[in-house]
Amino acid sequence: MNRRNFVKVGALGAAAGISVVPSRVIGKSLGHVAPSDKVNLACCGIGNRGGEITKALYATGLANIVAFCDVDMGAPHTLEVLKMHPDVPRFQDFREMFDKMGSKIEAVSVGVPDFAHFPITMLAMSLGKHVYVEKPMARTFQEVDLMMKGAKKYKVATQMGNQGHSEANYFQFKAWKDAGIIKDVTSMTAHMNSRRRWHGWDSNMAHYPAAEPIPKTLDWDTWLMTAQEHDYQKDFVNGQWRCWYDFGMGALGDWGAHIMDTAHQFLDLGLPYEVDAVMLKEHNPFFFPMSTTLSFKFPKRGDMPPMEINWFDGLDNIPSVPDGYGVSELDPNIPPASNGKIQPSKLNPGKIIYSKELTFKGGSHGSTLSIIPEDKAKDLASKLPVVPESPSNHFANFLKACKGEEKCRSSFEIAGPLSQVFNLGVLAQRLNTKLLFDRETQRITNNPLANFLLAGAAPRKGWEEYYLL
């Protein structure tokens, strides 16, 4: 059965009340044991960040790579991975890969531009495949919602790629929260003030950059996937897609998941009721502002007080820090930005968490928290709980979850609402306005256009089916 027939039969079966059971489940129910303890993995996106994900998953020793998919197999950035695995079948279209290799694939990594996460992930889950997806989960609020529902419907392991969820910060934050060290948090400053790809662009542009010849090795139509029609332009690909509202999520989507993640999960924040574009420097309708300050307000949760997160990005938009903050060292646990380096800034990527009694200073990714000022930290040193070590890195955690040995620490159930916080933040940036959000109905109540953009524009013709899976 090919992919399109599967979609049609699945839809008819659902309408008739018939469940389509993935073959992997049938096999287990009959007592079948795979001849290998490794997970058969297909990698979608094998250059740049996708290549790093591919290598990291393979390095765990828990995966057999059985297929590669990339829209540009001839690009320099894909060659390293291809040379490492010369005999692995290669595809430029993920649909063809699943048609031809579906029975041999157990799990899929998705290391492609933000806007392209959704169709690959939905098709993979509908075919019973476990999915590892780079952060953020998807570009629109609705797509993230459909991905969360798909994970529950198809009962597959899912992991979003915010690696800090398997490193020291995750286990420290949980231990300190459980021990009552972190409590009564009222606000958090989250900041990423390094240079971004669009800094230096002309924010007065009146149209997208002029079309350029499509490289011979690139399948441009498949690269666009569900996105609106665009002529090829070098500033749309190879990481430049992060700059544009049509394709990426800016600094917030790129770094927010590495900075806000543990606070969002362990403080049970969920979705905000208000998102305000406090300051946008050189706002324009095409790409992200040069500097942004956003305010996210969350209501009281149980015995936890209301909380506000203030997000700062931009070279000249450095937030104030409390007395006793100390020096902002460059933490070696924080990897370089997507352009390959973090340029020195007055404040390196991280966060400041304010509770009613204590203030915490932290970095990004797996960087741990410290209590400030230093004398307060010394007073509490004997009361701090033992922090357990991580049983597995983020990639091994996913592969072990595929085998039923662990539970994904950043599953779609956990990562979805966090990604939707960023979806709402980007909408406030794009429209340069304050948004009021009803957490119960999940609607924006004060701006009809913003409410429409929760779903975004209709997908290109021929790509509608992924919203029905």
What is the tens place of the pLDDT at every residue in 388-447?
999 999 999 999 999 999 999 999 999 999 999 999 999 999 999 999 999 999 999 999
| Structural contact between residues 348 and 363, judged by C-beta atoms closer than 8 angstroms | yes
136 pLDDT band, cuts 50/70/90, is very high
Lowest-pLDDT range, 26-35, 120-129, 183-192, 205-214? 26-35
pLDDT of residue 11: 39
Least confident of 50-64, 96-110, 253-267, 341-355: 341-355
Say whether both 184 and 56 belong to one domain: no
- According to the model, what pLDDT value does residue 326 have? 84
Strand partners, 309: 188, 296
Query: 183 and 110 in one domain?
Result: no
Q: Are residues 439 and 308 in the same domain?
A: yes
As a whole number of angstroms, the distance between CA 362 and CA 378 comes to 17
Domain that holds residue 156: 3-164+398-414
Q: Is the pLDDT of residue 30 over 90?
A: no
Average pLDDT rounded to a whole number, residues 49-58: 97
What does the pLDDT read at residue 327? 75
Question: pLDDT of 153-171, one tens digit each?
Answer: 999 999 999 999 999 999 9
Co-location of 135 and 191 in the same domain: no
> 201 and 129 in one domain?
no
- 136 with 270, same domain: the answer is no
Confidence of residue 332 (pLDDT cuts 50, 70, 90): low
Q: Is the pLDDT of residue 199 over 50?
A: yes
Task: Kindly state the tokens that stand for 392.
Answer: 């597995």
Residue 447 lies inside a defined structural domain of this protein: yes
Give the confidence band of 333 by pLDDT, cuts at 50, 70, 90: low
Q: Would residue 333 count as lying in a domain?
A: yes
Q: What pLDDT shows up at residue 22?
A: 43
Residues 222 and 361 in one domain: yes
Are 292 and 351 contained in the same domain?
Answer: yes
Phi-psi region of 344 (alpha: psi -120 to 50; beta: other; left: phi over 0): beta
Same-domain check for residues 426 and 404 = no
pLDDT-based confidence at 350, cuts 50/70/90? very high
Is residue 393 one of the residues assigned to a domain?
Answer: no
243 and 306 share a domain?
yes
Number of domains in the chain: 2
Segment holding 412, helix H or strand E: helix 412-431
Angle formed by the axes of helices 394-402 and 48-59, nearest 10° = 70
* pLDDT (mean) for 328-344: 54
Nearest one of 425, 35, 71, 413 to 222, comparing CA atoms: 71
pTM (2 decimals)?
0.89
* Domain assignment present for 179: yes
Q: Domain holding 199: CATH number?
A: 3.30.360.10
